[in-house]
Amino acid sequence: MASKVIKTLRDFPAVEELMQSDELSAHLAALPRPIAAAVVKQVVASLKKKLSDDGKPISGTTMINALKRDLVARKSRELARVINGTGIVVHTNLGRAPLSESIFEDIKRTVVGYGNIEFDMRSGARGHRGEACEDYLRELSGAEAGTVVNNCAAALLIILNTLANRKKVLISRGELVQIGGGFRIPDILKRSGAKLCEVGTTNITSLSDYEENIDSQTGLIMKVHKSNFVQAGFTEEVPLKKLAELGKKHDVPVLNDLGSGVFISTEKILGYREETVQDSVRAGASITCFSGDKMLGGVQAGLIVGDAALVKKVKKNPIFRTVRVDKIVFSILERLLKIYLEGTHAEGIKLWQVLATKVTELRGRGEKVLKETGSPEGVNVEKTAAFVGGGAFPEKPIESIGLVFDASWKARQMMKSFRDLRPPIIGRIEDDRFIVDLRTIDPSDLPHLVDAIRNLQK
């Protein structure tokens, strides 16, 4: 069929004929037949229009290549494994925190087939979803109670709707943030039914700014982690402890949206300290929410801890059922929280393994890759800057090592070539150089990287 020359609309093969083509069989088999047929119809329609508009013959090779390209593109929409060479450890576009294989292996027996997700093994009656997970969350955080919803945005929405529907929520203007995907705090507040009350200014907010706005219609005082940006210079914000004391004085709950959330001290591994969930509880926050797939190192979820009475109200909200999680998420979170409780996160959670890998180890990996690829000209092992990502430590680079391809390798072309691999390797471009950062590449994937570089030299 590739040798065919299409001069008129009648020369186009029928869709069914193309669906039976040996030249396309592998590409067609990769998709469900109805989807593959739809792609074939679209490509043929597009080529027919091109022939009608231009009047120039279309070769069979052009048609086959167009079909292969679009079939591959449609296949690429499916979830698939990629190799993260960006140096961003918690990469939102690449699935956020890498999940440990050991955790996945551990939960297989609890998620395949039936399970006791809502069955009380003691009484034989209907049970409550996620009891063990909530127990571990409470114990780990030091809070009176805890619960789980499907992401941190949902956690924030249901807390606001439960505790401040049609009431004012006091929040500093400097904390009205937007994070990735267009997620804006003011928009969530509006949808929750709460009334936004901005206090202070963008750079300066004092305790009196909050207190002067407290009245009988105030439902919550809210503090938001700035996540993916920092303020510098002439700035001032109120510590959570002071807000908690103010809330207690006026009987107004204080909500702390931690964003990423972390249970351990990051100082030893990263050289600086992020506020922990335990810090939030000890400071007196009435209720705290954070993500399960960022600095926690787990799966997408919104975790909520706080005063037992407030958490109970949240769980009784009719919206709670719409944002609850399934047995897979609970199984992963149970195992994850157990690891933190046992103090084995350095070995059991992949996120902390990646962050703790020494630069000398990364350099050794890079030099080995370079040696096995024949040390191609224009490729060097160099120091790079990696980042935690996920809204944590936006201006705090992590020392790393990368394979750096100089400008002669044509960075954009390299980016595409590596993205077209199976599995794809996703790197980054800096100063017209293509970089594969080794901080985020699992050692087991290095042979694939070696093969990719060798093939580029052919």
Q: How far apart are CA 225 and CA 139, in angstroms?
A: 23
pLDDT tens per residue across span 191-248: 999 999 999 988 899 999 999 999 999 999 999 987 655 666 677 889 999 999 999 9
- In the prediction, which pLDDT does 228 show? 58
Q: How does residue 351 score in pLDDT terms, banded at 50, 70 and 90?
A: very high
Q: How does residue 394 score in pLDDT terms, banded at 50, 70 and 90?
A: low
Segment among 175-179, 323-327, 381-385 with least mean pLDDT? 175-179
Q: How far apart are CA 302 and CA 152, in angstroms?
A: 4
Six token digits for residue 408: 């002669």
- In the prediction, which pLDDT does 226 show? 72
- What's the CATH architecture for 101-348? 3-Layer(aba) Sandwich (3.40)
Q: What is the pTM of this model?
A: 0.91
pLDDT tens per residue across span 329-350: 999 999 999 999 999 999 999 9
Helices (H) and strands (E) in the chain, counts: 19, 18
pLDDT tens per residue across span 442-452: 999 999 999 99
Spell out the residues 6+ positions from residue 179 whose beta carbon is closer than 8 angstroms to its own.
Answer: 227, 228, 259, 391
Please state, in angstroms and as integers, the Cα–Cα distance from residue 358 to each residue in 8, 326, 436, 439, following that order: 64, 37, 17, 9
- In the prediction, which pLDDT does 229 show? 59
pLDDT tens per residue across span 88-106: 999 999 999 999 999 989 8
Average predicted confidence (pLDDT) for the chain? 93
Q: How far apart are CA 297 and CA 322, in angstroms?
A: 24
Q: How does residue 175 score in pLDDT terms, banded at 50, 70 and 90?
A: confident
Six token digits for residue 367: 């030099």
pLDDT tens per residue across span 374-389: 999 999 999 999 999 8
Q: How far apart are CA 331 and CA 372, in angstroms?
A: 41
**CATH fold of 83-94+353-456, please?**
Aspartate Aminotransferase, domain 1 (3.90.1150)
- Helix (H/G/I), strand (E/B), else coil: 419: helix
Q: Are 336 and 345 in contact (CB under 8 A)?
A: no
Mean pLDDT of 270-296: 94
Percentage of the chain lying above the pLDDT 90 cut:
82
Q: Does the pLDDT value for residue 273 go beyond 90? A: no
- In the prediction, which pLDDT does 288 show? 98
Residue whose pair of structure tokens reads 């694939």 in the numeric block: 448
Residue whose pair of structure tokens reads 């699992």 in the numeric block: 442
Q: Helix, strand, coil proportions of the chain in percent (round to 5)? A: 50, 20, 35
For the chain, the structural domain boundaries read: 5-75, 83-94+353-456, 101-348
- In the prediction, which pLDDT does 390 show? 75
Whether 101-348 and 83-94+353-456 are alike in CATH topology: the answer is: no
Residue whose pair of structure tokens reads 């936006």 in the numeric block: 394
Residue whose pair of structure tokens reads 């809502």 in the numeric block: 118
- In the prediction, which pLDDT does 182 show? 64
Mean pLDDT of 140-158: 96
